[in-house]
Amino acid sequence: MKFLVCISNVPDTTTKITFTPDNKEFNKAGVQFVINPWDEYALTRAIELKEAQGSGTVTVLNVGEADTEPNIRKALAIGADDAIRVNAAPKDAWFVAQQIAHYAKEGGYDVILMGKESIDYNGFQVHGMVGELLGIPTVAPAMKLDMSGNTATLEREIEGGKEIVEVAAPFVASCQQPMCEPRIPNMRGIMTARTKPLKVVEAVGEGAATAVAEYQLPPKKQGVKLIDAANAGELIKLLRNEAKVI
Partner 1 sequence: MSVLVVVECDKGEVKKSSLEVASYGAQVAQMLGTTATAVAVGEATEANLAALGEQGITKVLFDAEPRLKDFVNGAYTKLIAAAADKEQAKVIVLANSNVGASVGSRLAVRLKASLATNVVELPKTDGGQFTVKRGAFSGKAFADVTLSGDRKIIAVKKNSIEAQHNGGQTAQVEPFTAQLSDADFADAPKQVIMQDQAGGILLPEADKVVSGGRGMKGPENWHLIEDLAKALGAATACSKPVSDVDWRPHHEHVGQTGITVSPNLYIACGISGAIQHLAGVNSSKVIVVINKDPEAPFFKAADYGIVGDVFEVLPKLTQAVKELG
Residue 42: CB atoms within 10 Å = 33
The CA-based diameter of the chain, rounded to the nearest angstrom, is 67
96 binds ligand FAD (CB under 6 A): yes
Whether the bond into 218 is cis, omega within 30 of 0 = no
Residues 47-76 binding ligand FAD (CB under 6 A) are 61-64
Do residues 109 and 4 make contact, with C-beta atoms less than 8 angstroms apart?
yes
Judged by CB under 8 A, which stretch of 52-60, 184-192, 195-203, 238-246 contacts partner 1? 238-246
237 binds partner 1 (CB under 8 A): yes
Distance of alpha carbon 64 from alpha carbon 71, whole angstroms: 11
Distance of alpha carbon 97 from alpha carbon 87, whole angstroms: 14
Q: Smallest distance from the beta carbon of 71 to ligand FAD, in angstroms?
A: 10
Residues 31-50 binding ligand FAD (CB under 6 A) are 36-39
**Which partner from the list ligand FAD, partner 1, none does 62 bind, CB cut-off 5 to 8 Å by kind?**
ligand FAD
Q: Mask of contacts with partner 1, 53-92, x by CB under 8 A?
A: ----------------------------------------
Distance of alpha carbon 3 from alpha carbon 240, whole angstroms: 54
CA angle 232/236/239 to nearest 5° reads 130
Positions in the binding site for ligand FAD (CB under 6 A): 6-8, 13, 26, 36-39, 61-64, 89-90, 92-93, 96, 114-115, 117-118, 120-126, 212
